[in-house]
């Protein structure tokens, strides 16, 4: 088996070229190959060394698939220390994404150049880890404490230009990277530049209070997570200790995190997310339909957000509304959202204007005649949806994909009103649709393979995380929310208060407890859905009596300023004794005894409800894998990623 590392002498430059598709991960073979190249360079006529990668990217990190297994020599810290120790100047040439261990390799080099399109970063914290090959010690020496902490605790990559501004990249190369890097290496040699070891640098002066400030911010922003706190500790060590001792602190903390539950869970989610994008039994080479123009029916909150998701990916969108007034309202939601993204610094003014320009409005369905994909996003009235699909069947070209954004309706029943059910599919976005990453792709009984494959691929293009679901009431996510919601109601009647239930789940790591979620979604949504059901279909009154009484008392949730909680003008929730009285009276009415309920029981019963329903969903084949369900709950329902999702947690708790 040939080595993924190639070493050649180009003039007086020793070129270490790595070729380990798909992302040049630092597998054992790559680490071994780099060491062999370094050893060879010590014996040859090279005067400088250049580290560069083939393929679409520079090294995107350590090989995550090796984690959790016995670590094979050479260890990455050994490799990076040998690069830094080289007697000949070492240049790293970056394209694509230099991430994690890959960026650490670049930081151990003496000089760094990059294409303007390149990105660098430390995503380790997203895996419950920290940069374990010198990143926590070398980055603050080069870029200062603040930049180092921001990079490592956010896990977000920055552009090569931004990296250059803080001293992490020395030269931006326009044009061909290899050519430019070789020329720059020759220039360095001509200028008499020798090895420039970061290890010999000290961290620039800084306010020592910065560390406690970060600890406090992270305790809120990354509640319950260990890795961010350890990153602060390691960067602080870099300001106090010589590199060798700082590296030891980093090594100890890294090893602890690697063996820890949080990182194991986050690594599960890393691979589960990539697995979820694959459809069992659907050949990789299934042809895809072109999607270069999209129509969205309904300019409400969901429709506007969906339109933005496509426009943000450069795909023109036509937003359809019933009349000009409604269309105006829909387009103004889009305007407001873009203004908000610019204000929060998520988008530049220019980019926002570019995207906005890709969204046009119409009240005429015939403007969708050439659309490649049309997504219906009107409110949950099954008859209205069927009427719309009948119309789409008439106006849309053959081969167009017809999708519904319903969050629980029967996609097969909607498809059945058309003459082309094979072209119908569910694309269930989550609110706000231009921000939430999850996309449930609902495969109907007759949905064609190429339609499914196209939507799965398209999801990545619009920066969504797709998960396939079969057709059932509520698909994966909302179906599991039913028993979860029911359990939350039983806990209230049996003695817990809304703030205790939500508090316990938020302490567990949920972004928001169940009662606050129901208030956010609107208690009237569930109430209206229940009105269409028979007493029998509604099931145990304990699961809905209290929210029904609240709605009938005009407490619809956040939108009416009161639900399970009262809400002030900043939407801050406060408990209301009126609600407590309704709960206690209903418990008496239903003959439910009340008692002290420990927080752990609340967590066990609510997470247990999710896991039980998840198992039924797997048994019925509605979801392909348990990991898919975990991805749904982490990306769509605020389940803590560092617990791996409900199914993983259920298996491992």
Catalytic residue among 42, 84, 104, 584: 104
Q: Is 64 in the site for ligand T1G (CB under 6 A)?
A: yes
State whether residue 35 is helix, strand or coil: helix
Q: Is 506 in the site for ligand T1G (CB under 6 A)?
A: no
Q: Work out which of 221, 240, 274, 387 binds ligand T1G, going by CB under 6 A.
A: 274
Q: Work out which of 61, 295, 361, 636 binds ligand T1G, going by CB under 6 A.
A: 61
Supply the minimum distance, in Å, between the C-beta of residue 341 and ligand T1G. 22
Q: Work out which of 39, 65, 202, 431 binds ligand T1G, going by CB under 6 A.
A: 65
Catalytic residue among 124, 376, 506, 613: 124
> Looking at the chain, how many residues does it have?
653
Q: Which is nearer to ligand T1G, 65 or 202 (CB)?
A: 65
Measured CA to CA, the distance from residue 91 to residue 113 in angstroms comes to 7
Supply the minimum distance, in Å, between the C-beta of residue 132 and ligand T1G. 4
Q: Is 99 in the site for ligand T1G (CB under 6 A)?
A: yes
Across 153-189, b (16+ Cβ under 10 Å) vs e yields bbbebbbbeebbebebbbbbbeeebbebbbebbeebb
Distances (CA, A) of 36 to 29, 77, 273: 10, 15, 35
Rg of the Cα atoms in the chain: 28
Size of the site for ligand T1G (CB under 6 A): 24
Q: Own/partner pairs for 483-487, CB < 8 Å, 24+ apart? A: 483/609, 483/610, 483/612, 483/613, 484/514, 484/606, 484/609, 484/610, 484/613, 485/514, 485/518, 485/526, 485/543, 486/539, 486/540, 486/542, 486/543, 486/609, 487/605, 487/606, 487/608, 487/609
Supply the minimum distance, in Å, between the C-beta of residue 163 and ligand T1G. 16
Provide the CB-side half-sphere exposure for 481 (13 A, CA).
Answer: 21
- CA 394, 395, 396 angle in degrees (round to 5)? 105
In sequence order, what are the beta bridge partners of 419? none
Provide the CB-side half-sphere exposure for 360 (13 A, CA).
Answer: 12
Q: Which is nearer to ligand T1G, 230 or 564 (CB)?
A: 230
Q: Is 597 in the site for ligand T1G (CB under 6 A)?
A: no
Q: Work out which of 4, 33, 89, 101 binds ligand T1G, going by CB under 6 A.
A: 101
Segment near ligand T1G (CB under 6 A), from 59-67, 178-186, 309-317, 575-583? 59-67
CB-based contacts of 443: which residues, under 8 Å, 6+ apart? 425, 426, 452, 468, 469, 470, 471
User: Looking only at Cα atoms, what is the longest distance across the chain?
Assistant: 90
Q: Which is nearer to ligand T1G, 157 or 498 (CB)?
A: 157
Write a three-state SS string for 288-320: CCCCCCEEEECCCHHHHHHHHHHHCCCCCEEEE
Distances (CA, A) of 611 to 378, 432, 515, 559: 31, 26, 19, 31
Q: Work out which of 15, 25, 448, 610 binds ligand T1G, going by CB under 6 A.
A: 25
Q: Is 100 in the site for ligand T1G (CB under 6 A)?
A: yes
Supply the minimum distance, in Å, between the C-beta of residue 109 and ligand T1G. 16
Q: Which is nearer to ligand T1G, 55 or 522 (CB)?
A: 55
The single-letter DSSP state of residue 134 is T
Q: Which is nearer to ligand T1G, 23 or 319 (CB)?
A: 23
Q: Is 628 in the site for ligand T1G (CB under 6 A)?
A: no
Q: Which is nearer to ligand T1G, 62 or 415 (CB)?
A: 62
> H or E element: which one contains 91?
strand 90-94
Q: Is 524 in the site for ligand T1G (CB under 6 A)?
A: no
Measured CA to CA, the distance from residue 374 to residue 317 in angstroms comes to 9
Of residues 3 through 22, those in contact with ligand T1G by CB under 6 A are: 22
Q: Work out which of 17, 20, 86, 97 binds ligand T1G, going by CB under 6 A.
A: 97
Distances (CA, A) of 307 to 160, 314, 344, 394, 460: 31, 11, 20, 22, 16
Q: Which is nearer to ligand T1G, 129 or 505 (CB)?
A: 129
Supply the minimum distance, in Å, between the C-beta of residue 646 and ligand T1G. 22
Look-up: residue for tokens 């790293």?
Answer: 92
Measured CA to CA, the distance from residue 454 to residue 468 in angstroms comes to 12
Supply the minimum distance, in Å, between the C-beta of residue 280 and ligand T1G. 14
Q: Which is nearer to ligand T1G, 131 or 180 (CB)?
A: 131
Segment near ligand T1G (CB under 6 A), from 97-105, 160-168, 284-292, 470-478? 97-105
Burial of 432 (0-12, 13-18, 19+ CB in 10 A): middle
> H or E element: which one contains 427?
strand 424-429
Supply the minimum distance, in Å, between the C-beta of residue 255 and ligand T1G. 11
Q: Which is nearer to ligand T1G, 645 or 650 (CB)?
A: 645
Q: Which is nearer to ligand T1G, 94 or 471 (CB)?
A: 94
Segment near ligand T1G (CB under 6 A), from 54-62, 396-404, 561-569, 604-612? 54-62
Supply the minimum distance, in Å, between the C-beta of residue 278 and ligand T1G. 7
Segment near ligand T1G (CB under 6 A), from 94-102, 518-526, 634-642, 644-652? 94-102
Give the DSSP letter string of 535-566.
HHHH--GGGTHHHHHHHHTT--BGGGTBSSEE
Measured CA to CA, the distance from residue 94 to residue 111 in angstroms comes to 11
Supply the minimum distance, in Å, between the C-beta of residue 39 and ligand T1G. 22
Per-residue binding string, ligand T1G, 107-146, x by CB under 6 A, is ----------------xx--x-x-xxx-x-----------
Supply the minimum distance, in Å, between the C-beta of residue 99 and ligand T1G. 4
Q: Is 410 in the site for ligand T1G (CB under 6 A)?
A: no
Q: Is 104 a catalytic residue?
A: yes
Contact 455, 425 (CB under 8 A): yes
Q: Which is nearer to ligand T1G, 392 or 465 (CB)?
A: 465
Supply the minimum distance, in Å, between the C-beta of residue 532 and ligand T1G. 41
Look-up: residue for tokens 């393929």?
Answer: 55
Q: Work out which of 5, 16, 23, 296 binds ligand T1G, going by CB under 6 A.
A: 23
Q: Work out which of 104, 236, 410, 440 binds ligand T1G, going by CB under 6 A.
A: 104
State whether residue 37 is helix, strand or coil: helix
Contact 47, 11 (CB under 8 A): no
Q: Which is nearer to ligand T1G, 129 or 317 (CB)?
A: 129
Per-residue binding string, ligand T1G, 230-269, x by CB under 6 A, is ----------------------------------------
Measured CA to CA, the distance from residue 442 to residue 475 in angstroms comes to 7
Measured CA to CA, the distance from residue 408 to residue 430 in angstroms comes to 12
Q: Is 63 in the site for ligand T1G (CB under 6 A)?
A: yes
Q: Contact positions toward ligand T1G, by CB under 6 A? A: 22-23, 25, 60-65, 76, 97, 99-101, 104, 123-124, 127, 129, 131-133, 135, 274
Kindly list the catalytic residues: 104, 124
């Amino acid at each position: 088996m040939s080595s993924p590392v190639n070493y050649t002498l180009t003039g007086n430059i020793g070129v270490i070229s790595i070729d380990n598709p798909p992302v040049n991960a630092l597998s054992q073979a790559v680490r071994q190959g780099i060491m062999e190249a370094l050893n060879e360079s010590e014996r040859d006529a090279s005067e400088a060394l250049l580290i560069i990668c083939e393929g679409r990217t520079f090294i995107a990190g350590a090989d995550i698939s090796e984690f959790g297994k016995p670590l094979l020599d050479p260890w990455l810290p050994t490799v990076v220390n040998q690069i830094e120790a080289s007697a000949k100047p070492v240049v790293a040439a970056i394209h694509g994404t230099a991430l994690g261990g890959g960026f650490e390799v670049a930081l151990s080099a003496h000089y760094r150049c990059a294409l303007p399109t390149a990105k660098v970063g430390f995503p380790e914290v997203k895996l419950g880890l920290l940069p374990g090959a010198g990143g926590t010690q070398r980055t603050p020496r080069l870029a200062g404490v603040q930049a180092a902490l921001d990079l490592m605790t956010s896990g977000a990559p920055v552009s090569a230009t931004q990296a250059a501004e803080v001293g992490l990249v020395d030269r931006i190369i326009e044009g061909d990277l290899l050519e430019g890097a070789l020329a720059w290496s020759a220039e360095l040699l001509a200028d008499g530049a020798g090895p420039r070891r970061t290890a010999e640098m000290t961290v620039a002066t800084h306010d020592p209070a910065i560390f406690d400030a970060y600890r406090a911010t992270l305790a809120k922003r990354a509640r319950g997570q260990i890795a961010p706190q350890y990153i602060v500790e390691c960067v602080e060590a870099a300001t106090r200790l010589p590199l060798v001792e700082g590296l030891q602190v980093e090594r100890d903390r890294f090893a602890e995190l690697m063996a820890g539950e949080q990182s194991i869970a986050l690594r599960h989610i890393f691979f589960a997310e990539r697995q979820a994008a694959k459809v069992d039994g659907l050949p990789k080479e299934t042809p895809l339909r072109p999607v270069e123009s999209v129509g969205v029916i309904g300019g409400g909150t969901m429709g506007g957000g969906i339109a933005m998701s496509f426009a943000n990916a450069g795909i023109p969108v036509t937003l359809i509304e019933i009349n000009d007034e409604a269309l105006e309202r829909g387009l103004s939601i889009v305007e407001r959202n873009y203004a908000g993204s610019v204000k929060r610094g998520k988008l530049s003014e220019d980019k926002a204007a570019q995207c906005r320009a890709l969204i046009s409005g119409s009240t005429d369905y015939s403007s969708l005649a050439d659309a490649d994909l049309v997504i219906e996003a009107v409110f949950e009235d099954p008859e209205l949806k069927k009427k719309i699909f009948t119309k789409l069947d008439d106006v849309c070209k053959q081969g167009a994909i017809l999708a519904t954004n319903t969050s629980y309706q029967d996609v097969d029943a909607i498809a059945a009103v058309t003459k082309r059910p094979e072209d119908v599919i569910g694309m269930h976005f989550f609110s706000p649709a231009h921000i939430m990453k999850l996309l449930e792709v609902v495969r109907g009984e007759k949905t064609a393979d190429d339609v499914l494959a196209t939507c799965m691929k398209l999801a990545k293009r619009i920066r969504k995380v797709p998960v396939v679901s079969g057709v059932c009431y509520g698909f994966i996510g909302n179906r599991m929310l039913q028993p979860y919601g029911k359990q939350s109601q039983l806990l209230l009647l049996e003695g817990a208060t809304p703030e205790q239930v939500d508090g316990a789940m938020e302490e567990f790591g949920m972004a928001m407890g169940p009662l606050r979620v129901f208030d956010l979604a609107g208690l009237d949504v569930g109430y209206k859905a229940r009105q269409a059901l028979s007493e029998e279909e509604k099931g145990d009154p304990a699961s809905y009596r209290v929210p029904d009484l609240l709605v009938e008392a005009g407490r619809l949730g956040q939108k009416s300023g009161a639900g399970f909680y009262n809400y002030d003008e900043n939407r801050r929730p406060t408990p209301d004794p009126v609600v407590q009285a309704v709960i206690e009276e209903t418990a008496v009415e239903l003959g439910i005894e009340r008692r002290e309920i420990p927080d752990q029981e609340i967590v066990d019963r609510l997470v247990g409800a999710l896991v039980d329903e998840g198992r039924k969903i797997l048994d019925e084949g509605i979801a392909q894998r348990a990991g898919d369900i975990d991805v749904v709950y982490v990306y769509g329902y605020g389940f803590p990623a560092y617990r791996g999702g409900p199914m993983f947690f259920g298996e491992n708790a």
